[in-house]
Amino acid sequence: MRVNGKNYPYRDGLTLHELLAELSIDRRTVAVMHGEDVYSAGGIPDAPLGEPDVLEIVTMMQGG
């Protein structure tokens, strides 16, 4: 599995919510691209992950 361009150890049963928790990422403040699917902050499903999955996680920032 790849997360933000780096290999990440995959294990059976891992879900998107669990991955974000392991990475100490608040799913209310990020957007996630999971393969071809894009989820915005607050709308990220607890989808199961697979070993070949590719994810990009983008943190939302406020300011100007």
Q: Domains in the chain and their CATH numbers?
A: 2-59 (3.10.20.30)
Assigned token pair, 10? 């995959």
Q: What is the mean pLDDT of residues 41-46?
A: 92
Mean pLDDT across the chain:
93
Question: Burial, 1: exposed, middle or buried (Cβ in 10 Å; 0-12, 13-18, 19+)?
Answer: middle
Q: What is the mean pLDDT of residues 34-61?
A: 93
Q: What is the mean pLDDT of residues 29-37?
A: 95
Predicted TM-score (pTM) above 0.75: yes
User: Which pLDDT score, from 0 to 100, does residue 60 have?
Assistant: 75
User: Which pLDDT score, from 0 to 100, does residue 62 have?
Assistant: 65
